[in-house]
């Protein structure tokens, strides 16, 4: 018995009998004895295992028929008729699963508590106060690794971000000249961060209430072409302009849902979805409200509305047009006309007053830059104004309709991505602590000394954003360089807005749009890397070249904006 196979699937009928039943299907459930040396094998796998070759059955002849007529003994762990190493029934296998995972959960919990205790002891050490920069850099690196590998570690990045932020500010309070200095720095950082969070909260709620009313159907239903190339370009540029108003994530969800109506599952539909990801990221880069990174730069005063739209519209358009042109040459696009499947076309109808909600919601988003220009107040005030108007409107049009409570704004608030908001809070607080400690200024000085080309620095931000989240990258860049180094609407800040917005398209995990597409269409990471990443990089590089050429040759005037 020294060489026992890990999967013991044989069960003797009696101590004196040497024959085995023909198949497991002929035995009652108790006698189907299966056990791995580790975790239990799934039932579907056990049922597909052939216990004995048919040739051996035929060799036994009629002896099997007499044995089959008798009822085989029950196979339990205590039965003498069964090998105890394999006598585990299905119920006991299923019961072993919870205990196994309970042990794993217990180990994870103990690891978290051990890490927390170690951190609490380390923070009180005198070394932390004497080496604040090193301690904060190590904490930020550990937290960032936890965010990058959240899937492998099974820890949500929002929780990791919040713990990182609190830890960094605790270290900063220890290393600061006094607690009052740290409190002043924290209050200043919180004031700036809250403006971004309120703006995002209002924008996400407006988009959610419009989507609940199926308002976007008015836009998507107007695409009627079935020609592969025309559909590719139509979907791409519709996404491009839609993303300039909505956030990238919502635009991707809306457009991928549209693709399911336009074409059945295929490689062509995957390619269309990839075009949506590139277009959503490109469209969000040229307007202050199109992407969270451009919104951050706009709110903090690094860029303004008209110069940004004027300077980045052309490179953003090229960063989409180049991949679309290359995709048009692909074999998936040059096939026959694609007809939608009948079951794919079955969609929900637009809710009552859906068109009104769409126009008011889009108007509220577009009005925010106008409100800022007219009043001089922060953009989040204008966003809250639009949210309040839409709230009162939906309450009025659905008054007394108890069956349509899901269309009202309180229900929309319960559906928005609050964990995403908390992630932004954790990241921005973490970066602000590094800025308060002067670490980001030291990094900026190092780059100025060793990498003096600002275009190269901005381009590197975009490349790195394909791997690392672009929100902390832009936040760190804002902390490294102030307006005295690069004035408002300078070439550097516009390039950062473009590169951080479009660079994430080079990998499917590089942007929220890509991750959403990956989940909705079950697209593999390596499929995107093989089929799309080269196209996205070509568009990214072409956009940078277009911006630099237009800037250096004074060709940055864009005719679609009056007075430019």
d(CA 506, CA 538): 9
Convert the pLDDT of each residue in 104-143 to its tens digit. Answer: 777 767 766 776 666 666 666 677 778 888 889 888 888 8
CA 350, CA 359: separation in Å to the nearest integer?
14
pLDDT over 50 at 97, yes or no? yes
Per residue in 289-298, pLDDT tens? 888 888 889 9
Q: In the predicted model, is pLDDT for residue 42 greater than 60?
A: no
Q: What is the model's pLDDT at position 521?
A: 82
Cα torsion angle, 135, 137, 140, 146, sign: negative
Q: Is the pLDDT of residue 410 over 80?
A: yes
Lowest mean pLDDT among 83-87, 276-280, 318-322, 536-540: 83-87
Contacts with 419 (C-beta within 8 Å, 6 or more apart), sequence order: 156, 158
494 pLDDT band (50/70/90 cuts)?
Answer: very high
Question: What stretches of 246-353 show up as alpha helix (H) in DSSP?
Answer: 248-262, 267-284, 292-299, 305-327
Q: If you average pLDDT over every residue of the chain, what do you get? A: 75
Are the C-beta atoms of residues 484 and 448 closer than 8 Å to each other?
Answer: no
86-95, 184-193, 222-231, range with the lowest pLDDT: 86-95
Written as one string, the DSSP assignment of 446-485 is HHHHH---HHHHHHHHHHHHTTS-HHHHHHHHHHHS-TTT
Query: Ramachandran region of residue 304, left (φ > 0), alpha (ψ -120 to 50) or beta?
Result: beta
Higher pLDDT, 559 or 404: 404
* 539 pLDDT above the threshold of 80: yes
In the 8-state DSSP scheme, what is residue 19?
-
Full-model pTM: 0.62
Poorest-pLDDT segment among 47-56, 275-284, 361-370, 516-525: 47-56
pLDDT of residue 57: 46
Q: Give 259's pLDDT tier (boundaries 50, 70, 90).
A: confident
Provide the pLDDT for residue 273. Answer: 92
Which one is predicted more confidently, 339 or 497? 497
Which pLDDT score, from 0 to 100, does residue 100 have?
60
- Residues of the chain with pLDDT > 90, as a percent, come to 18
Residue-wise pLDDT tens digits, 149-167: 776 777 788 888 899 999 9
Contact residues for 514 (Cβ-Cβ < 8 A; gap 6+): 277, 504, 505, 507, 508, 528
């Amino acid at each position: 018995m020294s060489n026992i196979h890990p999967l013991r699937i044989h069960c003797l009928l009696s101590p004196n009998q040497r024959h085995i039943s023909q198949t497991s299907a002929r035995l009652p459930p108790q006698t189907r004895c299966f056990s791995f040396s580790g975790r239990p094998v799934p039932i579907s796998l056990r049922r597909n295992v052939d216990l004995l070759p048919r040739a051996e059955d035929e060799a036994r002849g009629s002896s099997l028929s007499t044995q089959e007529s008798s009822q085989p003994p029950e196979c339990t762990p205590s039965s003498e008729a069964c090998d105890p190493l394999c006598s585990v029934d299905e119920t006991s296998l299923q019961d072993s699963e919870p205990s196994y995972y309970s042990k794993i959960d217990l180990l994870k919990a103990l690891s978290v508590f051990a890490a927390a205790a170690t951190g609490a002891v380390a923070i009180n050490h005198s070394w932390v106060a004497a080496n604040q920069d090193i301690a904060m850099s190590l904490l930020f690196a550990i937290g960032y690794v936890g965010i990058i590998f959240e899937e492998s570690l099974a820890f949500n990045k929002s929780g990791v971000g919040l713990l990182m932020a609190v830890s960094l500010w605790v270290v900063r309070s220890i290393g600061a000249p006094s607690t009052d200095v740290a409190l002043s720095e924290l209050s200043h950082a919180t004031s700036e961060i809250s403006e971004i969070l309120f703006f995002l909260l209002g924008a996400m709620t407006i988009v959610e209430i419009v989507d609940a009313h199926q308002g976007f159907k008015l836009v998507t239903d107007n695409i009627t072409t079935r020609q592969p190339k025309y559909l590719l370009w139509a979907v791409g540029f519709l996404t491009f302009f839609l993303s300039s108003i909505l956030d990238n994530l919502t635009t991707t969800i809306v457009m991928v849902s549209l693709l399911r109506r336009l074409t059945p599952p295929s490689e062509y539909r995957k390619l269309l979805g990839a075009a949506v990801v590139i277009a959503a990221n490109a469209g969000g880069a040229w307007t202050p409200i199109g992407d969270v990174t451009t919104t951050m730069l706009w709110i903090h005063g690094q860029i303004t509305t008209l110069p940004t739209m004027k300077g980045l519209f052309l490179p953003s358009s090229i960063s989409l047009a180049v991949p679309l042109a290359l995709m048009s040459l692909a074999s998936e696009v040059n096939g026959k006309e694609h007809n939608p499947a009948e079951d794919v076309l079955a969609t929900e109808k637009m809710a009552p007053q859906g068109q009104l909600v769409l126009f008011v919601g889009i108007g509220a988003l577009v009005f925010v830059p106008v409100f800022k220009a007219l009043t001089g107040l922060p953009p989040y005030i204008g966003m809250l104004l639009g949210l309040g108007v839409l709230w009162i409107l939906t309450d009025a049009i659905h008054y007394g309709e108890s069956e349509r409570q899901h269309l009202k704004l309180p229900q929309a608030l319960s559906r928005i991505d609050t964990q995403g908001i908390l992630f932004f809070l954790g990241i921005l607080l973490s970066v602000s602590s590094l800025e308060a400690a002067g670490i980001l200024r030291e990094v900026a000085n190092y780059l100025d000394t060793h990498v003096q080309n600002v275009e190269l620095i901005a381009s590197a931000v975009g490349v790195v954003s394909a791997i690392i989240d672009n929100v902390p990258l832009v936040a760190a860049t804002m902390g490294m360089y102030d307006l005295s180094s690069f004035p408002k609407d300078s070439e550097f800040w516009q390039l950062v807005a473009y590169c951080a917005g479009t660079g994430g398209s080079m990998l499917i995990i590089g942007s929220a749009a890509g991750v959403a597409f990956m989940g909705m269409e079950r697209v593999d990471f390596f499929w995107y890397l093989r089929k799309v990443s080269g196209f996205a990089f070509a568009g990214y590089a072409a956009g940078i070249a277009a911006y630099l050429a237009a800037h250096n040759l004074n060709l940055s005037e864009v005719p679609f904006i009056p007075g430019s």
